[in-house]
Amino acid sequence: MYKYVIKRILLLIPVLLGVVFIVFFIMNLTPGDPGRLILGESAKQEDVDRLNDRLGFNKPYFVRFFNYIKDIVTKFDFGLSYATQKPVVDQILIKFPYTLKMAIASVFLSTIFGVTLGVTAAVKQYTAIDSSITVLAMVFTVMPAYWTGMLMILLFSIKLGWLPASGASSLKHYILPVLTIAITAMGSMMRLTRSVMLEAIRQDYVRTARAKGAPERRVVYGHALKNALLPLITSVGSMFGGMMGGAVLSETVFNIPGIGSYIVSSIRSKDIPAVMTCTLFFATLFSLIMLCVDLLYAFVDPRIKAKYVNS
């Protein structure tokens, strides 16, 4: 199995290089320059040019790209933020816990409720319960995160006054943003679980278990759900990786100082080192999460474990 892990880690190198090149290229195409955005419209042009030169922004595109990659490889240096002149890595380490807490809580909620409701809908197929859960899943899936967040602020913060509308200083501050992220993911999880469970409960081994008199709960959760876990594990893994980088809207709406809001502010100020490092961090994290998901398959399906052992 270790050979497989090494292969996957080596494959990360071209993937990450491609991500860095694309994002660096897009940031280069965006209008404006960091000197003007940092100093403001009223600043003199010579001051702007002097700042851009000090930041290295006046150098050709490929020279800046090559220097960025060289510093990472040789010094493990991801550069200084244009806006604060502080190491970008230090900023990420400060802001990452906020994003991580939201992602873990959101994945937990969406998985628990999504799988439970999806299994219930599959078992109660073509009933009113199934129809209600299916409609609810579709509504959750199409609701935009920023719209859901603003509705929750309007209801629970402004109208009822139960929960704070912004900040991250207490547990209460995380409730609304976590629910905002979890709702959309919950809808997708409900639909996927229902689909795979409908396929699983029609298999011969389920009929055999029922014919032998096994309790229905054991048939559903011990046999059908266990054999339907592979696509669910994939979905949870990709969901978690997506939430790590997809909390931008929620963090912006609720003013949470996580990496998502940090990326937004960095893009606005054309802080290229900050945007590049955050993107590279998320790309690496997502790839490692999907690697862990693939390895988790071996503990669920013995056939996959045999392939890993032979690879």
* pLDDT tens figures, 101-157: 888 888 899 889 988 998 888 888 888 998 999 899 888 888 887 788 888 888 888
Q: Is the pTM of this model over 0.75?
A: yes
Are the beta carbons of 131 and 194 closer than 8 angstroms?
Answer: no
Paired tokens of 116: 């439970």
pLDDT at position 305 over 70: no
Residue given tokens 């991580």 in the structure block = 100
Categorize the per-residue pLDDT at 51 as very low, low, confident or very high, splitting at 50, 70 and 90: confident
pLDDT at position 52 over 60: yes
Render pLDDT for 243-288 as a digit per residue (tens, 0 to 9): 776 567 778 788 888 888 888 888 887 888 888 888 888 888 888 8
pLDDT at position 161 over 60: yes
**pLDDT for residue 167:** 78
pLDDT at position 18 over 60: yes
Q: What's at 280, amino acid-wise?
A: L
**pLDDT for residue 230:** 78
Q: What DSSP line would sit under the chain, residue for residue? A: -HHHHHHHHHHHHHHHHHHHHHHHHHHHHSSS-HHHHHH-TTS-HHHHHHHHHHHTTTS-HHHHHHHHHHHHHHH----B-TTT-SBHHHHHHHHHHHHHHHHHHHHHHHHHHHHHHHHHHHHTTTSHHHHHHHHHHHHHHHS-HHHHHHHHIIIIIIIS--S-SS--SSTHHHHHHHHHHHHHHHHHHHHHHHHHHHHHTTSHHHHHHHHTT--HHIIIIIIIHHHTHHHHHHHHHHHHHHHHHH-HHHHHHTT--SHHHHHHHHHHTT-HHHHHHHHHHHHHHHHHHHHHHHHHHHHH-HHHHHHHHH-
Paired tokens of 39: 């100093």
Domain 96-310 fold: MetI-like fold (1.10.3720)
* Distance from C-alpha of 296 to C-alpha of 309, rounded to nearest angstrom: 14
User: Exposed, middle or buried, 60 (CB in 10 Å: 0-12/13-18/19+)?
Assistant: exposed
Domain residue spans of the chain: 96-310
**pLDDT for residue 227:** 76
**pLDDT for residue 225:** 79
* Distance from C-alpha of 163 to C-alpha of 61, rounded to nearest angstrom: 47
Count of alpha carbons within 13 Å of 307, Cβ hemisphere only?
A: 10
Are the beta carbons of 162 and 156 closer than 8 angstroms?
Answer: yes
Residue among 102, 99, 100, 76 at smallest CA distance from 89? 76
pLDDT at position 242 over 80: no
* Distance from C-alpha of 228 to C-alpha of 198, rounded to nearest angstrom: 10
